[in-house]
Structure 1
């Protein structure tokens, strides 16, 4: 009896499968089916690949920032002495650092002297940023503890300086060479300020993978930095690392209170927030743009179904006269269209996941095929193309594709269901 069959019965699947695999001379649209399937697969693949690379960019960028920089920098609030001198340095820094270490969630505190100087060696000059810390504090920095490239011995930092590979390349030095550092804030004399000049042995060369760090960063012992920058008995800041870098703002009040209350902070999110917001905006824009590609690919399903409905008009009329309801006819053609979308989406998900997993050899081949030089770390601040496969990105891409496939399938399927069997068989 018409309408007595349960929805999506086996015979509906059988008819839909018969239509999908029918050859063109039998009234099928197998070529259009393949075009639709391949288009959806490529669109989903592109969406997942792009989202994974964008996620990788953010994770890699955050990791390089957090691996070589503080999560929170604690500074002395400027105050003026009775002689009119403005003080911006932290005194009693050992006690302050110990108090901050007791704050729940804090993993590292390093008293730091920071300054910009001119480095000179082999007739070459380079502007560098010098950080003075005790050796143990330098060794606890994640990216300094396990850098991409390491030469020399960081344990010998008390005997010299550690420099980034970019600094070493600019000056043409290696481990064991000597580098001259020149600071304009030197000794006060009758003739004014005399620049301070000191020469240090390079005991360690590192590469952390972020170009703007490797190119300018120099580490030296805290005591030597205090002497070199006229910071006797004081430091410029406390570098603080926390367990949850993304939630660092929740710990700032406790950190400032522990550091004495006369301080202020600067977090990594404040210093790098512009980059992170730009990445997030690009993520959203790329998702919207690539979703349009998915929409275009799914519209091929509509074209194919319209052709299928036209070619199968006689079959629809016969099926209706045999007792199939409008709902059964709608479900048959809905299975045809949604099946294409489902298979294409599955293929695209597999291709996208494989691309994200094996991106290094794939990109290496592309770089080799194009003669190298495709990736410039001086522009992107990261040494290699990253990718991070996240379940949420895969689900977003698959959900977008399946949702669009189901929506665009419904309308031609409804048109087939409403076809008048008498009209369909009139000229047969």
Structure 2
């Protein structure tokens, strides 16, 4: 006695392939198949492109934060001075920095003096934030010292000042120019406090990759900043870098214990937590919206299969009468729908990956066609549209597309399998 053929036997694939490539005149639905194929392709392409841009944007944003800002900032809670004013400076900053540097996972500790002043050159002026830092600590900041778009000689930092590229453009300064810094809280005299104005040579212009940093930040040597802001012998805070910034929250308590009493910490997650949470919410919403887009594209497969089942009623009746089981009929039409989803998903993955890999020339072309100004760094904070391709993102898009394609195919395939062969052949 002959055994039943196994599921998805070669003849089932042969019949399914015959139906897929059939022309309209032969009762096929090739036009609907192409519409389904294009729909799945575009939906998967949009999903992968969006996930890649999302990952790239977060990576670029976090990278520019970590490259030019402290991972953890340690500052004093303050003490009352002789006049009853709250003094939040750190007097023993060298000893505190040594203790914090001993914490496992800490890679760098730098005392800072900070203040806001007016930078000017000729008739141009701009408000800036001054960071007083030692030369060796500034060199260890990758976003400042290792930027490919920076120019000047950072080894001469002790002899001048380092400007963000946005500040340099705003006041028209370049390497070798002497700019003036004006602080309202300057020289203390018997008649009060008069503004302090000092001139410094620009020895370095950096591009950190973040518009807000490049547009406002200026670096001065620590000793010069202490004198300029009346911070002789003290620092405002400690800038701490760690080996694993993503795990900074677990290191913060150890850093505080090493810093001593009456200190507080502020991590990069605290500073940018609102924006990062907004990114996560936007990521989830975009994934849901694009998943609905994939579902709509997959529904085209249902329409095509329902039409195919209707047109192939006579064929189904004949196949049933010659011995094909309901399961075989169901698998034939399941293959038709699933094969469309599979090919569309593969094409969408290829297009999405190419978009992520060649996003720079694509975006340049779009910017050229739109006449420029498509991307405003003053609003978005970074200078270009990033994309970063992750295997997990691609696999999630593939899994979603194939899963929906296979599921929606079951209904029309089941309908074909349950068709009564007598009714199908009654009027033939």
TM-score, structure 2 as length reference = 0.98
Map Cα deviations across residues 360-417 of structure 1 (whole Å, 9 max, x no partner).
Answer: 1111111122222111111111011100101111111111111111111000000000
DSSP 3-state at the match of 1:258: helix
Give, in angstroms, the shift of residue 357 of structure 1.
0.8
Match of 1:61 in 2: 61
For 2:53 and 2:271, locate their aligned partners in 1 and report how far apart those are by CA, in whole Å: 23
Map Cα deviations across residues 108-132 of structure 1 (whole Å, 9 max, x no partner).
Answer: 1110001101111111111000000
Match of 1:377 in 2: 377
Q: Within 5 Å, give how 1:153-302 maps onto structure 2.
A: 153-302=153-302
For 1:107 and 1:38, locate their aligned partners in 2 and report how far apart those are by CA, in whole Å: 52
Give, in angstroms, the shift of residue 2 of structure 1.
10
Cα pair 2:115 2:229 within 8 Å, conserved: yes
Aligned residue pairs, count: 428
Match of 2:104 in 1: 104
DSSP 3-state at the match of 2:271: helix
Give, in angstroms, the shift of residue 223 of structure 1.
0.2
Greater shift, 186-195 or 7-16, is seen at 186-195
Map Cα deviations across residues 305-346 of structure 1 (whole Å, 9 max, x no partner).
Answer: 001001100010000001111011001000100110011001
DSSP 3-state at the match of 1:276: helix
Match of 2:45 in 1: 45
For 2:230 and 2:3, locate their aligned partners in 1 and report how far apart those are by CA, in whole Å: 92
For 2:191 and 2:121, locate their aligned partners in 1 and report how far apart those are by CA, in whole Å: 28
Give, in angstroms, the shift of residue 286 of structure 1.
0.9
For 1:351 and 1:3, locate their aligned partners in 2 and report how far apart those are by CA, in whole Å: 45
For 1:413 and 1:151, locate their aligned partners in 2 and report how far apart those are by CA, in whole Å: 66
DSSP 3-state at the match of 1:149: coil
Moved over 6 A (4+): none
Give, in angstroms, the shift of residue 44 of structure 1.
0.3
For 1:3 and 1:377, locate their aligned partners in 2 and report how far apart those are by CA, in whole Å: 69
Match of 1:321 in 2: 321
Give, in angstroms, the shift of residue 190 of structure 1.
2.4
Unpaired runs of at least 5, structure 1: none
Greater shift, 388-397 or 307-316, is seen at 388-397
For 2:383 and 2:2, locate their aligned partners in 1 and report how far apart those are by CA, in whole Å: 66
Greater shift, 33-42 or 254-263, is seen at 254-263
Cα pair 2:111 2:238 within 8 Å, conserved: yes
For 2:98 and 2:24, locate their aligned partners in 1 and report how far apart those are by CA, in whole Å: 79
Q: Within 5 Å, give how 1:80-95 maps onto structure 2.
A: 80-81=80-81, 83-95=83-95
Q: Within 5 Å, give how 1:329-368 maps onto structure 2.
A: 329-368=329-368
For 2:261 and 2:359, locate their aligned partners in 1 and report how far apart those are by CA, in whole Å: 48
For 1:380 and 1:34, locate their aligned partners in 2 and report how far apart those are by CA, in whole Å: 39
Greater shift, 216-225 or 139-148, is seen at 139-148
For 1:348 and 1:340, locate their aligned partners in 2 and report how far apart those are by CA, in whole Å: 12
TM-score, structure 1 as length reference = 0.98
DSSP 3-state at the match of 1:372: coil
Greater shift, 18-27 or 365-374, is seen at 365-374
For 2:272 and 2:148, locate their aligned partners in 1 and report how far apart those are by CA, in whole Å: 22
For 2:30 and 2:261, locate their aligned partners in 1 and report how far apart those are by CA, in whole Å: 74
Cα pair 2:17 2:336 within 8 Å, conserved: yes
For 2:120 and 2:358, locate their aligned partners in 1 and report how far apart those are by CA, in whole Å: 42
CA-based RMSD of the aligned residues comes to: 1.2
